[in-house]
Chains A and B, each alone.
Chain A
Amino acid sequence: MSTLPVISAKNLDLVFQTGDGSVHALSDITLDIEKGEFVSLIGPSGCGKTTLLRVIADLEKPTSGEISVNGTTPEKARLDGAYGYVFQQAALFPWRTIAKNVALPLEIMGLPAEERTSRIKRNLDLVNLTGFEKKFPWQLSGGMQQRASIARALAVEPDMLLMDEPFGALDEIVRDHLNAELLKLWATTQKTIVFVTHSIPEAVYLSTKIVVMSPRPGRIHEIIDCDLGADRPLDIRETPEFLKIAHQVRDGLREGHSYDE
């Protein structure tokens, strides 16, 4: 592992000015993420986990504090195509076929046609969507749409994936399946992944590091290492090691007043 973290935030603060006063979305966030890590941000709604991800992606600007991505500013990293972003919804363009949707970022990057075709094929294959190239999004199930959006993010070939509750809207059976696929993908591609979730089992199953956040103001309560090893079959979730970490995360959330009304 390199000594320089891929993402480094120091004393990050973000205050939203809204019609009825200000909202303290992020407070004093200090966090380092190393290359190749799988980091989950977990916490109840309003804890700033999505906001933090959006700051990393340069979709929001922090009010104060420092943040570097790939050793530079988030804006420069975004312009360099440092990351692929997967949203809560698939956000496919309804007028484009699945292949054309994956092609979208490649067209914007100005890649030549042959390169686009080979990347589309490779990445749709990676998420098991070969054969669906010519389908329109509405002809696919929610899980397949989300897989297409992951293929779209991967096609950019970024070193980093930023995922904002990508499986939050899917049922548990599909979610389990996609979690396993995502782990496999992470193991083969060695990408750095920052993953927002509000599911404890999902966070523990996927991550090497779990960042427990708490609300009002949004802050980091605790960072838990999750050393279950690289090989994680789905039934690892019944092992004592797994349950121990899950328990730790739940305790962290409770201490952070996540369960208060």
Chain B
Amino acid sequence: MSALDQIVEPGAGALLTVPAGGRLRIVDLHGNQAVDTLFYDAHDIDNRYSAFDTIRAQQAVYLTTGSRLMSTRGDELGIISDDTCGRHDTVGGACSQESNVIRYGGHTRHQHACRQTFLTLGAHAGIGQRQLTHNVNFFMNVPVTPSGELKFDDGLSAPGRYVEVTASRDLLVLISNCPQINNPCNGWNPTPVQLLGWW
């Protein structure tokens, strides 16, 4: 019996409380769908996910099973406990209307973007602009090379693949199911994902 079973449409999101020891599974129902996700200590949102501390801790760029999701204070917020996709990004950040303008031009200024979802849902937990930080992009493929290049690539995911995070402490999890249509992060076609939770 799951404590959570929820479909999240592209452009929508979720703000979840996951207790320590709880397992949150995100299912990529249709494949190649980026799920932008932030983690906060539920009792102190200043102790929040840190993408680059996470990368340094594992001395590897991509996230997968065994990756410890670290906070700015060096605490383990959660751990990726299962992963049938194999690679997730935490370098590429979230899309915003402003970064869309920079990357794709002024005509994208009023397209919906992950930052809009983060701000809308985060407001319920005191998460505003200052509290937003560099996120995880589950199912997204952002290769980096030995010569220091970075690109957005077609995803490695496929319909039904999933990733599971086990909370190491009580967490707030802020999710935006990415609506981006200007690059291949969602296979040019944003689709719904499923959230499952056990706690």
Whether chain B is bound by chain A comes out as no
Q: Point out residues on B near A: beta carbons under 8 Å.
A: none
